[in-house]
Structure 1
Amino acid sequence: MDHDILIIGGGIAGASAGAALASLGSVALWEAEDAFGYHATGRSAALFEQSYGLPPVVALNRASRAAHEAGGWLGPRGLMLVGCAGEEATFARDLDAMALHESEVATARRTVPILSDAVTRVAVDADAFDIDTDRMLQSYLATIRAAGEVATRRRVDRIEPVPGGWSVRAGPAEISARQVVLAAGPWTDRIAALAGLDPLGLTPLRRSMARISAPGGHDVSGWPMLLGAGETWYAKSDAGALIVSPAEEDLSEPMDAFADDMTLAEGLDRYQNAVTEPVTRPLATWAGLRTFAPDRCLVIGPAARLGLWWFAGQGGYGFQTAPAASALLADLVAGRSPALDADLVAALDPGRFA
């Protein structure tokens, strides 16, 4: 065997998996594109908010926090939930689901002075943080390099069983490994089919973003991330400008996603309703694919064929959950009792779709 473990997919899922598995033997990481973190990983909103997601996701967020802090990947940001007139019921649901504390709108305006008169309710969570996503990704890649190899331009086209493991080919490149981890985001079901596995039903959903100039010339660097009630839009400081997203979830094929102009316009209009400063022409636009399992929770565990492992369905939670999710994968591959609660492990097990 060339390696003990091969991970297919070089985003935050694959990179974190490889780093966690590096203590178990020789590891190889294959990425189809020219660079690691090219797709959703490189287009993340980069926020750590513990209460974001369904209960199993929130549990992974909480279990990941210590590793984020130890890695030095977190920086101050905060989150402000914004509700406009007519959104009272939606705002109340978000307030309860995210366990936030409501604040006075007048107080919120002292922090974000562009909030419009349409804003009737706000809630603030100071315990939300920027994630230094590039530093995090590079840290994981360095760990893998020390325990094996990483390679780009490896678009897998064949996976076949061989004695003691699997042979994987990507064009002229071929590798054999005892264990193979399927961590290719939107492409995971397609790659799994090459190994004879049934699809999990992983669904890529497009999310568009626009970068606009700082509204009204304000210094936005200290503003919290703004989240519209019902996650109908969000805005976040970025290098002196503001990223605004319509927060859409439009079904997509696995692809190098691009922003939809009409969807962006609709989202910018929702954002505009909540602020006083007019929206300016975007400086740049882009999109990413957030890939979900049918129940919107991650899928971590053994596949139906020995030596294959699912590590997929990160959705919009890949960076937040990476430390705890990858540690769980390593426990399972090593045959150790997982450090996480048994009910949580079961909620993430791919066997739930059998």
Structure 2
Amino acid sequence: MPFDIAIVGAGIAGASLAAAIGDRARVLLLEAEDQPGYHATGRSAAFWSETYGGPDIQPLTTASGPALRAGGFLEPLGSLGIGQASDSAAIEAFLEKFDGSGVELSRVDPRDHVPGLRDAWCDAVWEPSCTYIDVAGLHGDCLSRARRTGAVLSTGATLRAARRENGQWLLDTASGVARASVLVNAAGAWADPVAAMAGARPLGIAPFRRTMVQLRTDPPVPDGVPHVAEINGRFYFKPEAGGKLWLSPHDEIPTVPCDAAPEEIDVALAIDRLEGAVDWRIEAVERKWAGLRSFAPDRRPVYGFAAEVPGFFWFAGQGGFGIQTAPAAAALAASLLLNDPAMMPEGIDPDRYAATRFS
């Protein structure tokens, strides 16, 4: 029996979209790995910030907040964008970018929020709405809701070929052959190769490696420390349970689509930058990992039908923001797929993210 919609990728993008479509279409989720969320979703830094990603992403993040709070997926954290005296202009520019957005921001002395912060770090932007996000809980909830409304999840189902014939897609996967009226490309780092396989024009969606490290420090990370990001994007860190610290050098290293792994030089760079910000002693590197973030050339996500290939829908290029924007992005895409304007999130302009902007 053919499906109405086949979604390539069962990470947070594909899973949230399947959940948003619900029982209004027969949905097939094709996942190349044995477990959904193995790549970008399962390696997230796990925070929700309305300013993360800039003004183009903020409307989607803000619109996703109510659903994430209602689901119990957010926990208080707060965020500081820290700078030195020479960074005053960068902090002013950051505040100006979000002026009128409705995001609550204020200028503070970061040393009042982070014990052990070195004296040179004397200026900051405070974003109280920033939270932890339960990524595994959210992803699992999306998959569960999709299954309850009839979606079929096929794992180990790498897409090997896609051909359009008689108004339907014939999809050859590692787990068998399937048919669907619409093919949704939610393949993350593999989005451009999937498009090429289906005869659609690749958009230049490129993957980048992001490094994360879990540290044990002396003293342990103090209670109440927020998420902290250097205002120019050189590092960020946040506390985790048990006095641990998650740290990233905020790197974006071009790569091919792959099972990303951290490199020692990036781990060392992250630690060096942390030691320049705080006087905590690094006792141990307990874990290190890397994930992929995929961006279109203009760094905006791509949502919508391709102009040149009937029945091919883009849901990709979500950078590092696919989790924090998942409810709104999925509602936007479901609205377009089902031709139901009532599903479109309020205050979101879909043309801002349309695939046809690259035509």
What range is the shorter-chain TM-score in? over 0.9
Question: How far apart are the structure 2 equivalents of 1:193 and 1:172?
Answer: 21
Note if contact 1:28-1:144 (Cα within 8 Å) is conserved in structure 2: no
Note if contact 1:56-1:344 (Cα within 8 Å) is conserved in structure 2: no
Note if contact 1:7-1:182 (Cα within 8 Å) is conserved in structure 2: yes
What corresponds to 2:102 in structure 1? none
Question: How far apart are the structure 2 equivalents of 1:217 and 1:83?
Answer: 23
Question: How far apart are the structure 2 equivalents of 1:198 and 1:152?
Answer: 26
Matched-pair identity in %:
37
Q: TM-score, normalised by structure 2?
A: 0.92
Note if contact 1:80-1:125 (Cα within 8 Å) is conserved in structure 2: yes
What corresponds to 2:323 in structure 1? 319
Aligned-pair CA distance for 1:101? 0.8
With over 3 angstroms needed to count, the CA separation of the structure-2 counterparts of 1:182 and 1:150, relative to structure 1, is: same
- Larger mean CA deviation between 295-304 and 273-282 belongs to 273-282
What corresponds to 2:257 in structure 1? 254
Amino acid at match of 1:311: F
Query: Structure 1: which 5+ residue stretches go unaligned?
Result: none
What corresponds to 1:204 in structure 2? 207
User: Is residue 67 of structure 1 aligned with residue 67 of structure 2?
Assistant: yes
Question: How far apart are the structure 2 equivalents of 1:129 and 1:270?
Answer: 23
Amino acid at match of 2:314: W
Structure 2 residue corresponding to 1:351, chosen from 347, 352, 356: 356
With over 3 angstroms needed to count, the CA separation of the structure-2 counterparts of 1:98 and 1:280, relative to structure 1, is: farther
Aligned-pair CA distance for 1:104? 2.4
User: Is residue 182 of structure 1 aligned with residue 176 of structure 2?
Assistant: no
Question: How far apart are the structure 1 equivalents of 2:70 and 2:144?
Answer: 16
* Equivalent position SS for 2:138: helix
What corresponds to 2:120 in structure 1? 118
Q: TM-score, normalised by structure 1?
A: 0.94
Aligned-pair CA distance for 1:237? 1.5
Question: How far apart are the structure 1 equivalents of 2:206 and 2:10?
Answer: 19
What corresponds to 1:224 in structure 2? 226
Note if contact 1:205-1:251 (Cα within 8 Å) is conserved in structure 2: yes
Aligned-pair CA distance for 1:290? 0.6
Note if contact 1:118-1:273 (Cα within 8 Å) is conserved in structure 2: no
Aligned-pair CA distance for 1:75? 0.8
What corresponds to 1:87 in structure 2? 87
With over 3 angstroms needed to count, the CA separation of the structure-2 counterparts of 1:300 and 1:179, relative to structure 1, is: same
Question: How far apart are the structure 2 equivalents of 1:263 and 1:218?
Answer: 22
What corresponds to 1:310 in structure 2? 314
Note if contact 1:181-1:309 (Cα within 8 Å) is conserved in structure 2: yes
Task: Please provide the CA RMSD for this pair.
Answer: 1.8
Note if contact 1:167-1:177 (Cα within 8 Å) is conserved in structure 2: yes
What corresponds to 2:194 in structure 1? 191
Aligned counterparts, 1:24-39, within 5 A: 24-39=24-39
Note if contact 1:83-1:120 (Cα within 8 Å) is conserved in structure 2: yes
Question: How far apart are the structure 1 equivalents of 2:94 and 2:55?
Answer: 14
Amino acid at match of 2:77: R
What corresponds to 2:153 in structure 1? 150
Note if contact 1:6-1:27 (Cα within 8 Å) is conserved in structure 2: yes
Question: How far apart are the structure 2 equivalents of 1:171 and 1:218?
Answer: 46
What corresponds to 1:334 in structure 2? 338
